[in-house]
Structure 1
């Protein structure tokens, strides 16, 4: 079980999907409380009771939106995909549920006034909410993990394998070396923000470009060695300077030379591109899946 909790899990930071999740959670909480009226709500006599109960759903929506959208934007490193796991996903959702319980308890106290909110103590309400949410949350996350893992593992196994001879570097004997596609664009020139610092490499030598804050690392072969100079530029700016059809964006932090992809694997987070006999692994964001797979099949 602990091994599963440490497995990589996809980070879904797309604003429309996160907003939709917040809306659905708010609707679920509001309608659940309105229909079943737990925590002594069935004994509560008050004008506009249905509207007040639906207010719990509104609180749930606001808390979830702040956690799923705002909090992720404020602390992006905390939700970096390379360190996000099944266990962290479960913990994050449970923290969100507990925050919903706390804020809804404040809302209940405000609705009924001092001394009238004793039907359900703070500890009881939070404990019940935690226990009610723990098992379905764990089950849903594990189901999603298994589904995504199966999907990407099977799809990756069906993709073609491309292995290459890297300028005299050792290639395992069981790997079949195939020629790189010829192209008229035999060099890539990349200019930094100041337009003075430039780097020109052969397209067949370029491996990938990785973004880090305001800098990008250019990984390419120089003879039999991998060189990784740093250049001050955004990844989007460098992307616009590349005209080679098989050097493409595959992630918000990566541009990859598909001609240098030797193997494709998959886990719950998506496809992983293996380069240079597995020395480098480049992730693929889900938004690039279709175009990248089509490019790989066309090589």
Structure 2
């Protein structure tokens, strides 16, 4: 064997061993990723009781005259500022989100989704609304049951999806059963 062919043979062996080491390194990391994903899936996505159910807006509402009558009740929401004043039907409210001393109100007006920001606590608005359809789903959210398309999740992570604005509203563990029960009674 000549000197040049010996060098070529040596470089080929080094290159092949580098490729083998790279493949082994990548395989170990791939196995770690698979183990992580399997653990993550088992811990967070499929924990305890899973559920999911759907509802179409107003199509499954029980044929109860008191429910139909309450849908058209007009309410006035009043905040602490002079300009914080909103008059609308209960069925036009999608949800109310609280942040400190302010509340963001999402509602339907003239076929468009609107947002108003009021300086008021969520508990004050809850008292003003007094509706069986708009309920507290979380410490920071009031949600209108009539606009929920589905509720998915488990005990630790339940969310209600709203039909039109496709917003996911968190449902707290302590209120989960009550929200699901009330949602089932009107659908």
With the shorter chain as reference, the TM-score category is 0.5 to 0.7
Give TM-score scaled by structure 1 length.
0.44
Q: Deviations over 1:22-54 (max 9, x none)?
A: xxxxxxxxxxxxxxxxxxxxxxxxxxxxxxxxx
Structure with the greater alpha carbon radius of gyration: 2
Would you tell me which structure has more strand in proportion to its own residues?
Answer: 2
Residue in structure 2 matched with residue 193 of structure 1 by the alignment: 80
The structure whose residues are more often helix, as a share, is 1
Matched, 1:163 2:163: no
Are 1:297 and 2:184 counterparts? yes
Query: Is 1:245 paired with 2:160?
Result: no
- TM-score w.r.t. the length of structure 2 is 0.67
CA 1:145–1:226 in structure 2 vs 1: closer, same or farther (change >3 Å)?
same
Given that residues 162 and 259 in structure 1 are in contact (C-alpha distance below 8 angstroms), is that contact kept between their aligned partners in structure 2? no
Query: How far 1:201 sits from its partner (Å)?
Result: 1.3
Query: C-alpha displacement at 1:197, in angstroms?
Result: 2.5
Report the counterpart of residue 52 of structure 1 in structure 2. none
The CA distance in 2 between the partners of 1:236 and 1:3, in whole Å, is: 46
Q: For the residues of structure 2 that align with 1:241 and 1:196, how far apart are their CA atoms?
A: 17
- Superimposed CA distance per residue, residues 229-283 of structure 1 (whole angstroms, 9 cap, x where no aligned partner): 1110111121111211111000011000001111112157422111124621111
Tell me the matched-pair count. Answer: 149
User: Residue 178 of structure 2: SS of its match in structure 1?
Assistant: helix
Aligned counterparts of 1:202 and 1:196: Cα–Cα separation in 2: 19
- Per-residue displacement from partner, 1:67-95 (whole Å, max 9, x unpaired)? xxxxxxxxxxxxxxxxxxxxxxxxxxxxx
1:272 pairs with 2:159: yes
State the Cα deviation string for residues 166-223 of structure 1 (Å, max 9, x = none): xxxxxxxxxxx44584133612321102476211211111100001121101000112
- 1:104-253 equivalences under 5 Å are 144-146=43-45, 148=47, 150-151=48-49, 154-155=50-51, 157=52, 159=53, 161-164=54-57, 177-178=59-60, 181-184=67-70, 186-194=73-81, 197-253=84-140
